[in-house]
Amino acid sequence: MTTRLLIVGGVAGGAAAATRARRLDERADILLIERGPSVSFANCGLPYHIGRVIEKRDALLVQTPDTLARRFRIDVRTGVEALRILPACKRLLLRDLANGIEREEPYDKLILSPGAAPLIPPIPGIHNPRVRVLRSLDDMDALLALIEAGKPARAVVIGAGYIGLEMAEALHRRGLRVAVVEAADQVMAPLDPEMAAPVQQHLAAHGVELRRRACVAAIEPHPEGVAVRLAAGDSLPCGLVIVAVGVRPESALARDAGLAVGDGGGIIVDEFLRTSNPDILAVGDAVLTRHVVAGRPCLIPLAGPASRQGRLAADNALGRPSRYRGALGTAICKVFDLTVASTGLNEKTLARFGIPHAKVYVHPMHHAAYYPGAQPIALKVLYDPRDGRLLGAQAVGLDGVDKRVDVLATALHAGMTVFDLEELELCYAPPYGSARDPVNYAGFTAANALRGDVALCDPADALQPAEGQLLLDVRTPAEIAAAPLPGTLNITLDDLRARLAELPRDRELLVLCQVGLRGYLACRILSQNGFRCRNITGGYKTMMAVKSAREG
């Protein structure tokens, strides 16, 4: 019996479902419906074409209707909108947008991959033609046309997430002066504030003006084009505005068909990606799927999960049971020459969900320090203090960030612990890593704390020591002179054993070094000599990131 499979929406999820279905069943009748003109394109590459990194527009076209028809014998119809699902008779009502003709198509199984639409906040003046979003090739073309025709000197980006920061860099590369306006107190919400601090500093170093804790009150006409007026009263004149404040699921088709829809408008699916109607599956940015760490449904609008879901939905639609294990939200972003990545849950979310957690910060080099070009990585690892199970990780650096976060994402999917990180055997040669990889190093640091070899102090707490605590700085005199921290007792690590008599035994010592390693060594000396002490995880470097995040 031939299966009639209809797929609504292309790009990552729908195109993956269609091609997987053909590989599984040569006889299946597969129809792929796409409202836009392009069925499969690299939307993650749009900012890089705008910034002239990807020179040719056609490089963004992953598949075309012709290639899908020739290679996979898939009936692809672009410029066709799905108007209504008729579940009782298993039919889909379609409209050809070119001529308005409507027709019904029958299905045995239906896969929904409608994606998500950019959020457009209700700001007065936001529909000015100089205000743009970036989600599709059409959006990109319109934006480029505006840049070429208007030659704007300045641009304002509203929103400091992945797209907002990528667009800030792209416009900067084209010679525009860029300001980024963010309502929250930090850029990049998946990061915790102290991990976002170096990103914010990096933006400033590249001449990008960053307005945090700033709400847009209106977008008004201005001789330069428009002016973005902030709630605080000041105004940012510019010739171009990019709105990048997030996306919302395109779930109206599912909702109108009576399918279950949850928080945030996401379509509810089970572990086999089936909706509340077993003959209708859904994938991608529009669905609520289980977060691996949180164990609860969430929206994760990323291409990687969408592509994997499309593949599994095709399996299930064609009778091969395939379970989707959930997502971690693993993501990465290039901010000029800085790389920022995260996986799992951040500390803010863990606290909001009431999940017990502990953390360590390490700042190792991305490869052997003695090999030329070594760059530090700021790495934060979150774990369960009861058993060491990994909960999340964030990393920022100039090189080697992607490798470490990929390893940690794999470890998270496998349910590994910080003790497992100690044992991982990872590639080592001086140009690529160290005998103790940064991932191992994070594992050692957390495992030492869990075994009771050292007590850790949160850098935020060290900024305001409690009564009965004393900051002990074991850095060298040169380091202290370059970056002093008032109110500390200074004894270098190498002199510590000889000067134990100078230390008070009635106070808890909060031990500080540059990144935490010498602080750990000092704590081992102190604790074995009867002193109460805690090592400030991440050291002075993380303390200053916390301070910067607070003061910004």
Catalytic annotation, residues = 44
Report which residue type is found at 328: L
The conformation of residue 208, written as its DSSP 8-state character, comes to -
CB–CB of 472/501 below 8 Å? no
DSSP-derived secondary structure for 46-86: HHHHHTTSS--GGGGEEE-HHHHHHHH--EEEESEEEEEEE
Q: What three-state secondary structure class fits 380?
A: strand
CA distance 434 to 327: 30
Report which residue type is found at 321: P
CB–CB of 469/508 below 8 Å? yes
∠ CA 264-279-81, nearest 5°, is 65
- The answer for residues whose C-beta is within 8 angstroms of residue 407's C-beta and 6 or more apart is 424, 426, 439
- The answer for residues whose C-beta is within 8 angstroms of residue 366's C-beta and 6 or more apart is 374, 375, 376, 377, 397, 398, 399, 400, 401, 433, 438
Contacts of 491-495 with CB under 8 Å at 24 or more apart are 493/518, 493/521, 493/522
